[in-house]
Structure 1
Amino acid sequence: MKIEIWSDVMCPFCYIGKNNFEQALEKLPFKDEVEVEWKSFQLDPTLDPKEAKNTFEYLKEKKGLPEAQAQQMIGQVSQMGKGAGIDFHFDKALITNTFSAHKLLHLAKKYNKSNEMEEALFIAHFIDGKNVGDLETLISLADSLGIDNEEAKNILTSEEFDYDINQDILEARNNGVTGVPFFILNGKYAVSGAQPVELFANALQQTYDETVSPLKNLSNGENSCDTDGCSI
């Protein structure tokens, strides 16, 4: 069963959603049959990749929120994070253009390490206060996952994955996605937002039952024919 997840590194709900989704999946007997594919999405592609702002500056400039309101909103998200096992450090988080971070994610996908890279990027941004638009920071993250430094540098300074990233974003738009996280379950159902563990578990179970699990025969097999003949 394939799960596609559209996400952006600087979205706290994407990190919460990832943790809740993984906790739900861990409870299910078919967890080893699930393939997860991380897809790129940019919440604010207009940001200058050479600049980084703190969360409060960004909310004031982009959303026009006074600091008191921004503090209240961030406090609520922090509480949600604690419920998902995340200790956000919004006071250290640096807001910047995430296109290069998505390049690194696509490189990690080549080595079947996209889930690990997604986690590493979230930790770098929300916990460690690192600039996920900075070349050296991203190369260091690649190195931490055993990805060659030179290959990472070449990818980050070229256009090799630009098409793939833009295709992810276009696919999201074609699916009506306007916000993240956004989960598509085996091409059949969608879940949007950082939903509770129980909702993810139920959605995954329903999708598996309807599209993956063996057919359940509701009859006794009488009045039919097979390769050995007919039964009455």
Structure 2
Amino acid sequence: MTDAIKIDVWSDIACPWCYIGKRNLENGLAAASVDDDAPRVEVTFHSYELSPDTPVDFEGDELQFLSDHKGMPREQVQQMLERVTGVAAEAALQYRFDLLKHTNTVKAHELLHFAKAAGRQHEMAERLMAAYFTEGRHVGRIDDLVELAAEVGLDPAAVREALESERHLADVRADQQQAQAYGITGVPFFVIDGKYGVSGAQPAEAFAQIARQVWAERQNPVPAAS
């Protein structure tokens, strides 16, 4: 049996395009999954912090954060948020920047590694992004993260111990070092089978196409030149 295609995704919980890219990837893979010879795919999420210097409890709204962080006028930031909200809606995601609580995401990344070890990384990534972008939940404090982890079936006490002890912080840093080695400077970034790089929240059709293409290459490898 042909091995599954491996898709490694570098993203941040607080990246609006990452949630859109995640949903488009899922929809693209779902479209390809009905093929007669459907590609088998394994997706793994990796840590990337867009703003590692952000405080856990940022005083201000998203407009203020982006205005200060990017040095953009509030009116321009507002237009940018309206645009990404519209793109998100096309992926059936209802962004609520008016509710969003900007925060440091390193603990959320630690939680994703804990969830990965427990076989629940995909569920945890979805829960964190939905909580952040559509529900106005806080995803930077341990208490809030423990609650969200429990909602996807993870043991609250074990999650709390892992986050308080920073057990998975080294895993987060390893992901970031790998991103640096790959030359990744923005997310979402998708590495397919360790040889193809796809940057940005591509349409679902693009993800379906690349999955089919890589699967076909697996089925019919090009012979090495003699």
- State TM-score, norm by structure 1: 0.89
Q: Distance in 2 between matches of 1:131 and 1:142?
A: 13
Q: Which residue of 2 aligns with 1:160?
A: 167
Q: Which residue of 1 aligns with 2:98?
A: 91
Residues 53, 96 of structure 1: 8 Å contact kept: no
Q: Which runs of no fewer than 5 residues in structure 1 stay unpaired? A: 218-232
Change (3 A) 1:106 1:204: same
Residues 55, 95 of structure 1: 8 Å contact kept: yes
1:146-185 pair list within 5 angstroms: 146-185=153-192
Q: Distance in 2 between matches of 1:43 and 1:138?
A: 19
Residues 52, 94 of structure 1: 8 Å contact kept: no
Give the 3-state SS of the residue equivalent to 1:112 in structure 2: coil
Q: Which residue of 1 aligns with 2:6?
A: 2
1:61-112 CA distance string (max 9 Å, x none)? 1112222111111010011001111110011111111000001100110111
How far 1:16 sits from its partner (Å)?
A: 0.4
Change (3 A) 1:151 1:32: farther
> Counterpart amino acid of 1:78?
T
Aligned length: 216
Is residue 2:48 matched to residue 1:26?
A: no
Q: Distance in 2 between matches of 1:50 and 1:156?
A: 17
Q: Distance in 2 between matches of 1:34 and 1:143?
A: 27
**Which of 17, 20, 25 does residue 13 from structure 1 map onto?**
17
How far 1:200 sits from its partner (Å)?
A: 1.2
- State TM-score, norm by structure 2: 0.91
Residues 181, 192 of structure 1: 8 Å contact kept: yes
Change (3 A) 1:133 1:11: same
Q: Which runs of no fewer than 5 residues in structure 2 stay unpaired? A: none
**Which of 194, 200, 209 does residue 193 from structure 1 map onto?**
200
Residues 7, 180 of structure 1: 8 Å contact kept: yes
Change (3 A) 1:215 1:63: closer
Work out which of the two has the higher radius of gyration on C-alpha atoms and give 1 or 2. Answer: 1
Q: Distance in 2 between matches of 1:65 and 1:139?
A: 35
Change (3 A) 1:185 1:72: same
Q: Which residue of 1 aligns with 2:47?
A: 40
Give the 3-state SS of the residue equivalent to 2:10 in structure 1: strand
Q: Point out the more displaced range, 47-56 or 129-138.
A: 47-56
**Which of 132, 142, 147 does residue 135 from structure 1 map onto?**
142
Q: Structure 1 stretches (4+) deviating beyond 6 angstroms? A: none
